[in-house]
Amino acid sequence: MHLENRTFAEIEVGETAEMRRLITPDDLYVFAAASGNFNPMHLPKADGAAPGGPETVASGMFVAALISALLGTRLPGPGTLYRRQFLEFHARAHAGDELCIRVEVREKFDDGGLAIATEVRRIGDDALIVAGEAEVIAPTEPYSSDAVDIPGLIVERHRHFQALLARARDLPPLPTAVVCPDEAKSLEGALLAAGEGLITPILIGRRAAIEAVALETGADLAGIDLIDVDGGDRAAAALACRLVHEGRAAAVMKGHLHTEDLLHPMVDRERGLRVGRRFTHVFVMDVPGQPQPVMVTDAAINIAPDLATKVDIVQNAIDLALALGMEPRVGVLSAVETVNPAIQSSIDGALLSKMAERGQIRGGLVEGPLAMDNAVDVGAARTKGLKDGVAGRANILVVPDLDAGNMLAKQLAFISHAEGAGVVLGAKVPVILNSRSDSAMSRLASCAVAALFNAAGPAR
C-alpha cells in the first residue's frame, strides 16, 4: 500500500479527497471484535437476508471510522492527529452498501490546525449517511512510503454448522445404515453423531474388523446394531439398500470403502435407491465471513455433466437448500458472465437460467452464466452491472465439471478455512459422504444436513 501525505504548508483551502468502500459482513465482525460493541443489530444475521431485503445495519461509529481513514491516509494523510469531530447521522448504512467518503478543507489555522468538512454518501442513490466537520492537526513533515503492510484478518467462526446441528438435535435420531465402518475415523464419526443424538447407526460390514477397530480405539458398541457381512464392500452397500426398502434405515453413511463401491448397488434399477433423478453430490460449506452456508455442486460424482444432468444437479441442490431453511440463489458458474458459444458452461448457464424462468426448475432463483467473482461478491456484480437477485449473493454454486468443483471445494476448505458437509442426493434417502480427512465438525454437519433433508419430507 502506498501512503503519501499533504503537509500543512502544501494544503490549500478548497482541497478535496474521497474514497470508496464496500461494507462486507466481515467488516462488521471485525469492528465488533475491536470495539467491543456486540449490539446484535450490527452483527450479520446467521441466515442472511432475502434478495432485495434489508441487510445488517452497520454501526454508526464504523461509518465514522471511514472518515478517519480518509483523513489519516489521503488528506492530510500520515501524521494527521484529531482535535475534534462533529458527526450528524442522516441515514443508516448496511452490509452490502458501497459508500463514498469525501472531505474538503474549509479553513487553515495559524497553529497548524485545519477545519475539514466531512460526509459519507451511499453510491447508487446518493443518500447522505453522515455529515459533519473535523478539526485536525496537519502534518508538518512530508511522508511517502510503499512499505505499509497490514496483516490480513480472517473471521473464522463456523456459526452456520452450529445452527444446523442445533436444529437437527431437535429431530428424532435418523436411522442410518453405516457401510463398512472398519477404520478408526469412519467408526468414530458414526459413533460421534450417535452421541450427539443425530443418528441411530446400524453398522454393516465384517463384524471382526469393526469390533477390532472398536477395541483399538476404545469405542463402546454396546446397544448398537452390527450386521455381519462377509461378501465384501458392495455386498454391505447392497444390504444397506435393502434396509432402506424395509424401512429400517432412512439414510446411508459411507464408511471405509470406495465411493464407487458404495453407490454401485444404489443405482441398480430393481434393488437400488433410484427415484427418477440422477445422483448428485453437494458440499454444504460453512465459509468464514459468509452470511449463509455456501453449496458447491457437483464435486464428487458427475465428471462432465451434460445439460440434463445439470438440471438434476440444480434441482437437488435447491431442494436441499429449502430443507435447510435457506432461500436458494443458484449461480451457474463459468469463466465469463456473458454467453460465449465457444464456452459450453456459459451456454449451459444461460439455458438453466431460462429453464428456471419457465418452471422447468422449481423452488429457487437461477442465474447464469456467472463468473466466480460476480456470483459471490456484491461489488464485483455491481461493477459488471448485474443487479438480479442472485449476482453477488449466490449461495449455491453450480460448477462446470467435477474438476472445477473439487478444486473450488478444496480451495474453500484449505485456503478460506471452510468446513464442508458432504451428501449425495437423488436417491430414495440421503447418502452421507465423508472422507477420512474430514474433521469431527464436518462429520457431524453431514449427519445434520441428512437429518434435516429427511425431515423435509417427500415433497422433493
Same domain flag for 180 and 56? no
Q: Do the beta carbons of residue 147 and residue 17 sit within 8 Å?
A: no
Question: What is the rounded average pLDDT of the residues 266-277?
Answer: 90
Same domain flag for 138 and 104? yes
Same domain flag for 281 and 355? yes
Classify burial at 348, counting beta carbons within 10 Å of its beta carbon; exposed 0-12, middle 13-18, buried 19 or more. Answer: buried
The per-residue pLDDT for range 371-429, each reduced to its tens digit, is: 999 999 888 888 888 877 899 999 999 999 999 999 999 999 888 888 899 999 999 99
Rounded CA-CA distance 384/406 in Å is 27
The per-residue pLDDT for range 30-76, each reduced to its tens digit, is: 999 899 999 988 987 644 333 334 568 999 999 999 999 999 999 99
Does pTM top 0.85 for this prediction? no
Q: Residue 437: inside a domain, yes or no?
A: no
Same domain flag for 219 and 285? no
Cell of 68: 478517519
Its domain, for residue 182, covers 158-274
Same domain flag for 246 and 233? yes
Same domain flag for 290 and 335? yes
* Total domains, the chain: 3
Same domain flag for 60 and 139? yes
CATH number at residue 404: 3.40.718.10
Instruction: From 320, 324, 198, select the one nearest 250 (Cα to Cα).
Output: 198
Q: Do the beta carbons of residue 316 and residue 282 sit within 8 Å?
A: yes
In whole numbers, what is the pLDDT of the chain averaged over residues? Answer: 91
Same domain flag for 383 and 349? yes
Rounded CA-CA distance 397/389 in Å is 14
Same domain flag for 137 and 182? no
Q: Residue 455: inside a domain, yes or no?
A: no
Instruction: From 108, 52, 132, 116, select the one nearest 378 (Cα to Cα).
Output: 52
Which amino acid, 271? R
Same domain flag for 268 and 291? no
